[in-house]
Amino acid sequence: MSRLRILYSRLRAEEKQLFAAAEAKGIPCSLEDIRTEAWRIEPNETDVFLCRCIGHLQNVSVARMLEAGGARVVNPSAVMELCGDKLATSAALAAADIPQPAFRAAFSEEAALEAAEQLGYPVVFKPVTGSWGRLLALASNRETAEAIVEHKAHLGAAHQVYYVQSYVEKGGFDVRAFVLDGRPLCAIRRTSGHWITNTARGGRAENQPMDAELRSVLERVHGAVGGDFIAVDLFLTRLGWLVNEVNDGAEFRNSSAPTGVDIASAVVEACTDLMKREKRGDKRGLKRSATLCGTSSPGA
């Protein structure tokens, strides 16, 4: 009997909801803290892995190990890598001609300031890796940009790739939309008095109806980025939707109630479909399934 194995490194509400949803549906499932075992590649025929580790590098690393043996991982490591790098995501969106805020990449302090001048103030400096709005910096003028760039010079190698994005006047809200198995699932509107509207920073969530235009944008994003379950952040401007970021490890605890969509149940159902495909040997071109050694340690 194949299982759904939910991997984590810090147990959040989402992982507990996913496990509870799987149990409620009678899906063979385990909840495993990846830190409790030494892992090695070992053949396995049918298990599907839902990688939910809070640390991007650990999540990608365990996914790569699993895939090396042919296991089906949600999301695939290539999608994690793309979404985990904001510059890579923007490049993929640009290649697909998907609307997004104007941005520049720079690799020196001087070039970062030149990027800001090219875009015109205000601009946002973003770390290429990171989440929850961490270390985002809004520069309204040259003096602020100089201070930000000087500080970033002391933050280590990851901050020497300067991602500079035009600040978008978004009317106090942005939209977080979930795409499951290539299809738009639901969306919330996040409102905040702060320019960063992330609900992890206190933004309020309400349902965002999905019209044909939004659905079309989301389907195009999925076409460009891929992934089984992704969360797309967008701005609604007078020019239409702009895609801001794409997340591979979506947090959804604040989204099920306002949308009325049981996101955890939908995700585990999609994983069940994958498990059936694995059982049938329909790997969509993937290699033979394999798993790592590591005893499951259900935490709930």
Partner 1 sequence: MAGTVTCVVCEGTVALPENCGLGEILVCGDCGTELEVVALEPVRAEEAPQVQEDWGE
- Are 268 and 22 a contacting pair, CB within 8 Å? yes
**Opening angle at CA 179, ends 181 and 208, nearest 5:** 150
- Are 290 and 44 a contacting pair, CB within 8 Å? yes
Among 163, 249, 266, 275, binds partner 1 (CB under 8 A): 249
Draw the binding track, 184-203, toward partner 1 (x: CB under 8 A; -: no contact).
----------------x---
- Going by C-alpha positions, the residue among 95, 85, 92 that lies closest to residue 158 is 85
**Locate tokens 């994958």: which residue?**
274
- Going by C-alpha positions, the residue among 207, 204, 230, 228 that lies closest to residue 217 is 230
- Are 103 and 166 a contacting pair, CB within 8 Å? yes
Q: Does 250 contact partner 1 by CB under 8 A? A: yes
Neighbours of 132 (CB within 10 A): 12
**Closer residue to partner 1, CB minimum distance, 122 or 130:** 130
Looking only at residues 53 through 112 of this chain, which bind partner 1 when binding is defined by CB under 8 A? 54-57, 84
Q: Does 294 contact partner 1 by CB under 8 A? A: no
Looking only at residues 251 through 280 of this chain, which bind partner 1 when binding is defined by CB under 8 A? 251
Among 94, 96, 147, 158, binds partner 1 (CB under 8 A): 158
- Are 190 and 38 a contacting pair, CB within 8 Å? no
Part in contact with partner 1 (CB under 8 A); list of ranges 65-73, 107-115, 247-255, 271-279: 247-255
Looking only at residues 1 through 40 of this chain, which bind partner 1 when binding is defined by CB under 8 A? 8-11, 15-16, 20, 31, 33, 35-36
Among 69, 122, 130, 182, binds partner 1 (CB under 8 A): 130
Draw the binding track, 209-238, toward partner 1 (x: CB under 8 A; -: no contact).
----------------------x-------
